[in-house]
Every structure is written in C-alpha cells, then in structure tokens.
Amino acid sequence: MTQRRYFGTDGVRGRVGKSPLTADFALRLANAAAQVLTPEGGRVLIGKDTRLSGYMFESALEAGFVAAGVDVVLIGPLPTPGIAYMTMHLECDFGVVISASHNKYDDNGIKFFDKNGEKISDELELQIEALLDEEPITKESRQLGRASRVDKMRTKYQDFCASTVPEDMTLDGFRLVVDCANGAGYKVAPRVFADLGADIVPIGTSPNGRNINDGCGSTEPELLKHLVPGVHADAGIALDGDGDRIVMVDAEGSLVDGDQILYILAKERIETGTLKGPVVGTVMSNLGLERAIGELGVTFLRTKVGDRHVLAELRKEGGILGGEPSGHVLTLDKTTTGDAIVVALQVLAAMKRTGKTLKDLASGMQKTPQVHNNVRLTEKFDPNSSEVVMSEVESVTKELGTSGRVVLRASGTEPLVRIMVEAEEEETAQKYAKQLAEVVRNAAA
C-alpha cells in the first residue's frame, strides 16, 4: 500500500501550530475530504473535545467544507463515540472529530467517521491525501454549503448510552466517582449515570482549554484512586479526553484496567449467553487475560497495537468484544467504536446482576507482571530488522517459555523503541527488559 503522509493509525495528529496541525492544513483537509467522501455535496457533523485549539480547527474545517458545497452541522464538545453515533442519528454523510484523545492540550488531531459511525478506510484516506497538494475548490455562491449548530442534540447520545443496559435496570444504590478528564465527556457522562439513579461525585468537569488529561482521566487516575475509598464510593470511572477510553477503580482504590474490564465483560456475556466469536486483544494485552479467557472456554486472539486492528479482527472473526490495556474497549453488540460511558454501564450492569463488587468481578483474572522500557535513540531504528536484536529476543523468549512474552515496537513518530517483557516474577521481567534495552542501544549506535 502507498505510504501515507499525514494519516496515522487514528487520523491526523500532532503538535498544534506545527505541520500538519495548522489552520491552513485543516481547511485543505476538509476541502479534500469533501471531494472524496461526498463529491456531489452532502452533510457532515463536526464535534470536538475541550482543547483551546478546537475552536480554530472547527472554524477552518467548517470553511473548507462549506467552500466545497457541504452542509456543516456543529455539535460542540462531545465524546468521539458520541460523534460516531450522532453521525448516524442525524443521517450525515460522514463525521469529523477534533481531538488528540489522551494527549495533553498542546496536541490535537482530526479523524473521520463514515455514515455508519465507523472509521473511514485506508483507501479513502489515501484518496484524501492525494488532493491535499491541490488548490482547495470554492464553489459559486448558490452551491456553497450551510452551517448550523445542534449543541442541544447531545441529549440524544445520552439517551443512546442509557439504552445499552437492560430496560428495567437502574443504578439506584450505587455511589460513583466519575472523572471526565476535563474533556469531551464533561457534560454528558455525569448526566448519564445520574439519570439512571446513581449518586455521582464528578471530577474533571471544569475544562479551561488547557487542562484536558492534566492530572486526571484514564491516563492519570491517581486522584480517582484516592477519592473513591475516601467518599465510600462503589466504583470510580475515568474517561480520557475524548471519551473513548476507560479505566475504573474499585471501592478499595485499586485500578481496574482495560484488560480486566474486557475479562469482566467476556465473563458476563458468557453467563448471559450473549457472547459471540473470540475475544480480541493486542500484543500488549496481559498474559493473564489470555489465560483467564482461555479458562472460560473462549478463544483469545492478538493483533498489532491499535483499536483499528482489533476492530478489523473482530469483523473478520465475527466477534463482539476486544480491546487494549489502556482502556480502549470495543463492544460491537452495543456500538461501533470504543465508548467509555457504554463500557462503564456494561460493567455496572454486571455488578448489578451478580451483586458482586468490582473487585470481585476482576479477581477472576490474575495479571502477569509486565515491565515496560522505552529506549530513546538519536534516530529512528527498527529493532525487527536487526539480526542481533532479534537473536536476543529469541533467546529471552526461549528462556521465558510459556510463562512470559517479549514485545519490541518502534515508535511511528519518534526515535524510540518500546520494550515490553512479561514474566511470572517482576524481577525476571526487569532483568530481561534491561538486557534487551542495552542490546537495542548497541545495535542502533
């Protein structure tokens, strides 16, 4: 496949003000996307998270689309999965999300959904890129698109989230701490849980344009871990900045990550007779998850890192559950993309049905110690192309046997090699991770 210049695994992303994340590029991107995705004119939904730069990119995208003859519907801050859902609900031809997900505020990104609320294909992204060097088109006045705001329509997404649990189920009796990361879910997430009857303690709900994912949310849940037992809550729920990732905290303040959440959902669907196909994780998924899923009598498959790959494997194998340790969990029987609110509701529904605590539900999966070591280099280096590195990986893998794993990945954006070693004992994993890091440094020198 032709090398993509701008699109990565999750749209176009980067540092605001540096190529390609400029206002000029956003306008050209919108114009090119309009020509590829709806050449005869149509309608696009634009949503965003709470980053300061979101206003700039929203205006630039709007201009590019309108100039190309596409009607623009602006819905304001809303989780990425909410934009995917509302794209379908409003019968738009496609949707656009302005967000850099779990990154800090000085990054941003732009990604596209098709009319079915799914990420557009690699082929369409390449077609869009092919037009980016051409002058943007501006149609004559009578063919220009129109723009309108539908901010209050976000309640339709709240209703959808609530509809994913059994009709007669409430959250009465639950006390929940909900951390919205000062991001896209700051309005809708607390309301969904409160409307279902839970007693809510909201945090991370005061965005100022610069504090998204800053000391809060799924990437930094320390405050949540202290607060949940402090206020005697049953559970804590942490979204990331765009609301598609989730981690949780049990009543004792212990973290429940994406792997453990995936296990809970798989077991719940087995017990309710609703599981279809295999469960899909990535090369970074904990060995404990693979073992626990196997003990449930279900096939566990691994893909490359990225929810795009997990989704492709689920589609191929007819599965409905997949995800990553970071908390990007797919429940395809409920929605088309990772959705932190929907996933949290599925876990709470399992707690409600079984009468078990979150700690009890997660206890069926015993995590294997994992050690992560990022080796920063002076220039990009692919460890998989080095015979010396691969020989060492083979040697360590042989020594670990079935009780551990080794994963080496080169960063796609910086001169960095990510090393993950999994072993029954953390000391063993630490030893091999350090050993592999040294081999990588020497090989890259």
What are 371-389's pLDDT values in tens digits? 999 999 988 899 989 999 9
Residue 413 pLDDT grade (very low, low, confident, very high; cuts 50, 70, 90): low
pLDDT of residue 8: 85
Average pLDDT over residues 97-115: 96
Q: Please state the domain extents for the chain.
A: 12-152, 163-362, 370-444
Span 304-361, pLDDT tens digits: 988 889 999 999 999 999 999 999 999 999 999 999 999 999 999 999 999 999 999 9
What is the 8-class DSSP label of residue 291?
H
Average pLDDT over residues 67-73: 98
363 part of the active site:
no
Share of the chain above pLDDT 70, in %: 99
Q: How many residues does the chain have?
A: 445
Q: How far apart are CA 187 and CA 185, in angstroms?
A: 6
> Contact 74/57 with Cβ under 8 angstroms?
no
The reply to whether 12-152 and 370-444 are identical in fold is: no
Give the mean pLDDT of the chain: 95
> Contact 23/57 with Cβ under 8 angstroms?
yes
Span 6-62, pLDDT tens digits: 998 789 999 999 999 999 999 999 999 999 999 999 999 999 999 999 999 999 999
Strand 107-114 and strand 71-77: the pairing is unpaired
Residue 4 pLDDT grade (very low, low, confident, very high; cuts 50, 70, 90): confident
Residue 433 pLDDT grade (very low, low, confident, very high; cuts 50, 70, 90): very high
Which H helix or E strand runs over 239?
Answer: strand 235-239
C-alpha atoms less than 13 angstroms from C-alpha of 352 in its C-beta half-sphere: 19
Span 202-236, pLDDT tens digits: 999 999 999 999 999 999 999 999 999 999 999 99
Q: How far apart are CA 431 and CA 80, in angstroms?
A: 40
Phi, psi of 255 (to 5 degrees): -70, 140
pLDDT of residue 198: 98
pLDDT of residue 44: 98
Question: Considering only the top CATH level, what class is 12-152?
Answer: alpha beta
Active-site hit among 53, 99, 101, 218: 101
> Contact 160/73 with Cβ under 8 angstroms?
no
pLDDT of residue 10: 83
Domain covering 163-362: architecture: 3-Layer(aba) Sandwich (3.40)
Please tell me which residue, 412 or 310, carries the higher pLDDT value.
310
Range name among 188-197, 270-279, 414-423 with the lowest pLDDT average: 414-423
pTM: 0.94
pLDDT of residue 352: 97
pLDDT of residue 175: 98
Residue 2 pLDDT grade (very low, low, confident, very high; cuts 50, 70, 90): low
Which H helix or E strand runs over 28?
Answer: helix 23-37
Average pLDDT over residues 154-159: 96
What b/e string do you get for 126-153 counting C-beta neighbours within 10 Å, with b at 16 or more?
bbbbebbeeebeeeeeeebbebeeeeeb
Residue 445 pLDDT more than 60? yes
Residue 3 pLDDT more than 90? no
Residue 66 pLDDT more than 80? yes
DSSP 378-431: SS---GGG-HHHHHHHHHHHHHHGGG-EEEEEE-SSSSEEEEEEE-SSHHHHHH
Residue 261 pLDDT grade (very low, low, confident, very high; cuts 50, 70, 90): very high
The topology (CATH level 3) of 370-444 is TATA-Binding Protein (3.30.310)
Q: How far apart are CA 24 and CA 244, in angstroms?
A: 28
Residue 412 pLDDT more than 90? no
